[in-house]
């Protein structure tokens, strides 16, 4: 699982795990985020980046991220979160934010 | 596979599964019980489906209706009698004392608060916000003399069993009965 594979992007190759999550959150760049978002059919806006930065900040603080916490962040409500990152918002946004896959059930 | 041939092989792992690869698309969760733990099982399953990018529909029937009524939703109890897994060794007589069930339910809610698990009404709001749909069973609602106004605003409609099956129509649907 943890054998790094390399993600082919026009921006920069960054090591990701088998599921595509960035192995080292500090390597993250907005350009890389754009590239990953594009593979999900998402074009990142400022609102997206507000959420991504919030996720990165909270993850760095050691907070276990949940959809409920994102909804209470004051940046987006839960409905907007689902709209911004369709197809599983917490997983998709975490991948784009370059942080590990969330382990929450709620 | 044809659409991935022009891309490097390693990229495939970093990309989400295409829609065609994903067989599971929709979950229909039927909740027929009004016990705290059963209702939460249904809520976690429905919300979990949405979190995975699946569609989720909920159908509440019989005692499950308690979970979606304004009066009772946030005051559900866990069963202390007739539940061998609850505090093994506790004599049934003691577990049946007045107030014991309310106390046990309160303690359970407290533990859930610690884990940041939302209360039933908030959980239902989260499910609705995530695109999930919540329905009540017509037959059970008639039986318990419940009207649309007795239910929480997240309840989309009161429907028949036939309408419920229509919700599950289409490829890639799974039904869970609780």
Can you read off the two tokens belonging to residue B175? 């039904």
By the 10 Å C-beta count (0-12 exposed, 13-18 middle, 19+ buried), B107 is classed as exposed
> Long-range contacts made by residues B166-171, C-beta under 8 angstroms, separation at least 24?
B167/B28, B167/B57, B167/B59, B167/B133, B167/B135, B168/B26, B168/B28, B168/B57, B170/B25, B170/B26, B171/B25
**Cα→Cα distances A59→A26, A73, A99, B63, B105, Å:** 12, 13, 7, 40, 33
- What residue ranges of chain B have pLDDT lower than 70? 1-21
Question: Residue A87 is nearest to which of B16, B44, B126, comparing CB atoms?
Answer: B16
Nearest to A67 among B44, B126, B131 (CB): B126
Those residues whose C-beta lies under 8 Å from the C-beta of residue A79, and which sit 6 or more positions away, are B129, B130
Phi, then psi, of A30 in degrees rounded to 5: -60, -35
Is the Cβ pair A92, B16 closer than 8 Å? yes
Q: Do A8 and B11 lie within an 8 Å CB cutoff?
A: yes
B15 vs A: CB within 8 A: yes
- Domain boundaries of chain B, sorted by first residue: 25-177
Where does chain B have alpha helices with state H?
11-14, 36-51, 92-95, 100-114, 120-129, 138-143, 161-167
Cβ distance of A87 and B14 shorter than 8 Å: no
How many Å apart are CA A85 and CA B140, to the nearest integer?
Answer: 37
Distance from CA of B64 to the nearest CA of A (A): 21
Residue of B nearest to A8 (CA): B11
Is A82 within 8 Å of B129 when comparing Cβ atoms?
A: yes
Comparing CA positions, the residue from B113, B158, B111, B115 lying closest to residue B133 is B158
How distant, in Å, are the alpha carbons of B59, B111, B148, B156 from that of B120?
A: 15, 15, 18, 16
The pLDDT value given to residue B21: 67
Query: What ipTM did this prediction achieve?
Result: 0.81
> What pLDDT tens digit does each residue of chain A (106 aa) get?
444 455 554 455 788 888 888 888 888 888 888 888 888 888 889 999 999 999 999 988 888 889 999 988 888 999 999 999 998 999 999 999 989 888 888 8
Distance from CA of A105 to the nearest CA of B (A): 6
The predicted structure's pLDDT at residue B129:
93
Query: Residue B11: its pLDDT value, please?
Result: 45
Helix (H, G, I), strand (E, B) or coil at B161: helix
A82/B130 touch (CB, cutoff 8 Å), yes or no? yes
Which runs of E-coded beta strand occur in A2-80? 5-6, 15-16
- Is A33 an annotated catalytic residue? no
What kind of fold does domain B25-177 have according to CATH? Hypothetical Protein Ychn; Chain: A, (3.40.1260)
Burial group, residue B91, by CB count within 10 angstroms (0-12, 13-18, 19+): exposed
Strand, helix or coil for residue B50: helix
**Cα–Cα distance, A21 to A42 (Å, whole number):** 17
Dump pLDDT digits (tens) for B85-118.
Answer: 887 888 888 888 888 888 888 888 888 888 888 9
Distance between CA atoms of B60 and B50, rounded to whole angstroms? 18
**Tokens 């069973």 map to which residue?**
B137
Distance separating alpha carbons of residues B117 and B97, to the nearest angstrom:
28
**A70 touches B: beta carbon within 8 Å:** no
């Amino acid at each position: 699982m943890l054998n790094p594979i390399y993600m082919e992007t026009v921006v920069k190759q960054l090591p990701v795990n088998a599921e595509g999550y960035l192995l080292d959150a500090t390597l993250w760049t907005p350009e890389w985020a754009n590239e990953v978002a594009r593979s999900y059919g998402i074009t990142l806006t400022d609102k997206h980046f507000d959420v991504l930065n919030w996720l990165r900040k909270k993850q760095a603080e050691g907070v276990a991220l949940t959809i409920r916490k994102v909804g209470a962040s004051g940046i987006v409500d839960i409905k907007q979160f689902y709209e911004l990152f369709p197809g599983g918002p917490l997983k998709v946004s975490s991948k784009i934010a370059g942080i590990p896959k969330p382990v929450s059930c709620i | 596979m044809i659409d991935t041939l022009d891309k490097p092989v390693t990229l495939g792992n970093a990309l989400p599964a295409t829609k065609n690869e994903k067989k599971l698309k929709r979950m229909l969760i039927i909740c027929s019980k009004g016990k705290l733990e059963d209702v939460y099982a249904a809520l976690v399953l429905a919300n979990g489906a949405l979190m995975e990018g699946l569609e989720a529909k909920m159908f509440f029937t019989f005692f499950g209706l308690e979970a979606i009524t304004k009066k009772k939703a946030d005051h559900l109890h866990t069963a202390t009698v007739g539940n061998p897994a609850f505090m093994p060794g506790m004599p049934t007589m003691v577990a049946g004392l007045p107030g014991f069930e309310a106390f046990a339910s309160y303690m359970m809610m407290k533990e859930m608060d610690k884990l940041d698990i939302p209360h039933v009404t908030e959980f239902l709001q989260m499910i609705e916000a995530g695109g999930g749909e919540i329905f009540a069973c017509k037959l059970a609602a008639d039986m318990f003399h419940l009207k649309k106004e007795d239910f929480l605003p997240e309840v989309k409609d009161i429907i028949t069993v036939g309408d419920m099956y229509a919700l599950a129509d289409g490829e890639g649907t799974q039904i869970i009965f609780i």
